[in-house]
Structure formats: C-alpha cells, structure tokens
C-alpha cells in the first residue's frame, strides 16, 4: 500500500520571515511617490483659494460650465475660467481656515497648481492703497520663540541653539533675525523676547527627517508669467459710478493710480496687524511688502504636497496706520479691492492658459487645457 506523505509545512521561522518581507514590500510601495488620489473630482485643475468673498464671487461669475460641490460645509466650484480648468473655494479669514480649505481642496480634487487671492495690509510705505502685490516668497513671522528678554535663546546650551526642543530660530541671508523691541519714548528699546522661528515641514521627498523652512518660494514659472501681465487696474471701483454715463464719485476713488508690485516677501500670521511698531520691524528686518492672515499657510500646505503656487494680494491700507486715510474707505465702499484683485487673477489665468498651450506638461493633461 502506498503511503502518501503530507505536504511539508514551512518552518514557523520561515513563515515569519516571508510575512515580514511581504509587509516591508507593501510599506515600501506605500511610501513611493504615487499619483495623488482625489475623493470628489479627478480632472486636473488649478485651485483658487480666496479669502475675500466678493472677489471669489467675481471669479465664480465668470467661470463657465460651473458645478458646485459642498464638502463639510465648504462650497467648491469647478469649471473653466479664462481657458483653465479650475476649482474655486472661499477659505474664510485666518491661517487655520486657509490651511483647512487648501488641504481639503487637494484631497478632494486633482490640483496641479494653486493660487491664493485676496486683500492685505501694506508694510512698505512706498506702496499705495489699491496696489496689487505679487511676492516671490512668503513667511510666517509670528511663529516665534518667546524668550524672557532680548538675549539670544540658549535652551540647548549654546546661544541660538533650540534644536533639543525640535525648533530652529529664523535667519535671513545667513544672519539671525533680530528680536522685536518696542520704543519706550526716550530712545531706549524695550525687549519683548519675540524671536522668529522657522517652520518644520515634512514631504514625501524629505521624510522621515523633514526640514525647517522660513521662506516658501512661489513657483518660478508662475511668477515669470505673472511678471508679464498688464491688466488695467482701476482707480475708482464699480460702485463709484452712480448711474450709467455719470462721472465717478471722487470720494469713492483712490488718490494714486494703482499698480502691480512685483517681488519681495509677503508675510502671514494669526493676528490682525494694527501695530505700527511691528509693521516697521517687519519691513526693516524682512523687507516685507504685505501682511495678511492666509497665504503663508497655503504656501506651507502647497510645499508639503509638492504643488506649485502663487499669490496675488490687493493692498487695503498701511498696516497699523493710526491716521485716517480716505483711500481705505474708498477702496472698500466702491468695490475697488475685489475689482483690482480679480483683474490681476483673471489676467494671470489668461496668460497661463497661453503658456500651457505653448509648453504642455510632459505626460500630464495640462490644467490650462479646455475640457
């Protein structure tokens, strides 16, 4: 009688090694740079995040083939705007809302590029109400190490070293940024102990170590296209004209013809800046052009997701100015803020669509292509 031998069972140690190797391969595959999933709409698009409702309304009104998706209460409008497939969302004021809206947009839509648009306070006294700034980089100056005085923090034993806390102090041009001080009226500086920090950010490329960043550079290609646009900026908002054919109300016009301000640094924080001393400090230390509460947060999210971005900001006032400025009232009362901001955004989109037609992305469907 022939006796069948049972099939040999691999040793338990071999099974364990096989399972371990399989798990390692799955983990490795999961960490590779795969195409980003999209939860709602997977057509490649330019994402436009607006912090100012009226300006978002102008963009949405000109968007063709609109479709609205509501995600956790936020309304995302898709369609074609000046030859580009877009999705538009209103973030609401603040760094937290900007972060939330931007990451939600990236998760639910196939975002190839990001644009932030809205209004901001000016830091450079040479600029005027109604100007539209296009900075080359954005930073977060209120991410701080709050020391007891203006002595350089030495939490980890050496002046300037805070690495044992998982932090790093900010530097610009290889030099540490000086702490903020307040004048006491007699020429002496009162220390506040506020030292700027860099932000920790982790991406697919730098994980698991991550890196520290102070400046978030805008996309060079987008900035180059933006540097060539020449939209007509208004001095009087649409509400300045009371009836068709009538002359605009001079009280609803700004005194100086608005212009585009290219380059420099924009800064964002979780505060509404109404302090002239801090405004002067930011301009002196960072040569910052504009201050607001959303863009640097979007820039951080864009960098973490490896998505190119750019931002356009219309200046509403000189941040922290104590004197009355009639131009500020005219800007808001006449609708000039959103009109000029939208004009720049639309001009950029039109130029970008042309740029995309001339230089389509290899292996990808250009977001600038018409559906």
Asked if residue 190 lies in contact with residue 183, where contact means CB atoms within 8 angstroms, the answer is yes
pLDDT at 18: 47
Task: Identify the band that residue 166 occupies on the pLDDT scale cut at 50, 70 and 90.
Answer: very high
Is residue 261 over pLDDT 90? yes
**Where does the chain hold its CATH 3.40.50.1580 domain(s)?**
41-139+212-358
pLDDT at 316: 84
Interval 33-53: pLDDT, tens: 456 778 999 999 999 999 877
| Residues 6 or more apart in contact with residue 192 via CB below 8 angstroms | 150, 179, 180, 181, 182
Task: Identify the band that residue 31 occupies on the pLDDT scale cut at 50, 70 and 90.
Answer: very low
pLDDT at 30: 41
Interval 194-225: pLDDT, tens: 999 999 999 999 999 999 999 999 999 999 99
Interval 270-279: pLDDT, tens: 999 888 999 9
Q: What is the mean pLDDT of residues 246-257?
A: 90
Distance in angstroms (rounded) separating the CA atoms of residues 145 and 167: 9
Distance in angstroms (rounded) separating the CA atoms of residues 178 and 175: 9
Mean model confidence pLDDT for the chain = 87
pLDDT at 185: 79
Give this prediction's pTM.
0.85
Task: Identify the band that residue 22 occupies on the pLDDT scale cut at 50, 70 and 90.
Answer: very low
Q: What is the mean pLDDT of residues 326-348?
A: 87
Interval 75-108: pLDDT, tens: 999 999 999 999 999 998 999 999 999 999 999 9
Rg (CA), the chain: 25
Query: Which residue in 63, 73, 135 sits closest to 100, CA to CA?
Result: 73
Q: Which residue has the higher pLDDT, 52 or 248?
A: 248
According to CATH, the topology of domain 41-139+212-358 is Rossmann fold (3.40.50)
Asked if residue 313 lies in contact with residue 119, where contact means CB atoms within 8 angstroms, the answer is yes
Q: What is the mean pLDDT of residues 126-133?
A: 92
Query: Which residue in 346, 354, 370 sits closest to 61, CA to CA?
Result: 346
Distance in angstroms (rounded) separating the CA atoms of residues 314 and 176: 30
């Amino acid at each position: 009688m022939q006796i069948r031998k049972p099939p040999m069972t691999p040793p338990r140690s071999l099974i364990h090694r096989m399972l371990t190797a399989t798990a390692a391969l799955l983990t490795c595959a999961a960490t590779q740079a795969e195409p980003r999933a999209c939860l709602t709409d997977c057509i490649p698009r330019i994402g436009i995040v607006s912090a100012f409702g009226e300006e978002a309304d102008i963009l949405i009104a000109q968007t063709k083939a609109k479709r609205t998706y509501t995600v956790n209460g936020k309304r995302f409008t898709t369609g074609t705007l000046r030859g580009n497939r877009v999705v538009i969302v209103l973030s609401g004021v603040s760094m937290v809302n900007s972060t939330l809206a931007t990451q939600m947009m990236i998760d639910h839509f196939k975002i190839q590029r990001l644009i932030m648009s809205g209004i901001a306070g000016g830091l450079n006294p040479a600029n005027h109400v109604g100007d539209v700034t296009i900075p080359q980089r954005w930073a977060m100056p209120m991410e701080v190490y709050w020391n007891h005085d203006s002595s350089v923090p030495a939490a980890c034993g050496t002046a300037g070293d805070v690495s044992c806390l998982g932090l790093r102090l900010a530097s610009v041009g290889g030099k540490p940024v000086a702490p903020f001080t307040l004048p006491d009226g007699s020429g002496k500086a009162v220390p506040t102990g506020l030292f700027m920090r860099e932000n920790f950010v982790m991406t697919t490329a730098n994980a698991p170590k991550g890196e520290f960043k102070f400046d978030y550079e805008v996309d060079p290609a987008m900035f180059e296209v933006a540097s060539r646009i020449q939209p007509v900026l208004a001095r009087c908002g649409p509400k300045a004209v009371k009836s068709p054919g009538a002359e605009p109300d001079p009280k609803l016009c700004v005194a100086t013809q608005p212009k585009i301000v290219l380059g420099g640094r924009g800064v964002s924080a979780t505060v509404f800046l109404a302090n002239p001393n801090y405004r002067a400090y930011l301009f002196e230390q960072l040569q910052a052009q504009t201050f607001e509460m959303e863009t640097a947060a979007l820039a951080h999210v864009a960098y973490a997701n490896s998505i190119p971005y750019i931002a356009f900001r219309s200046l509403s006032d000189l941040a922290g100015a104590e004197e009355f400025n009639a131009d500020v009232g005219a800007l808001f009362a006449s609708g000039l803020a959103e009109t000029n901001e939208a004009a720049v955004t639309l001009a950029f989109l039109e130029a970008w669509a042309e740029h995309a037609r001339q230089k389509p992305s290899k292996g990808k469907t250009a977001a600038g292509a018409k559906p």
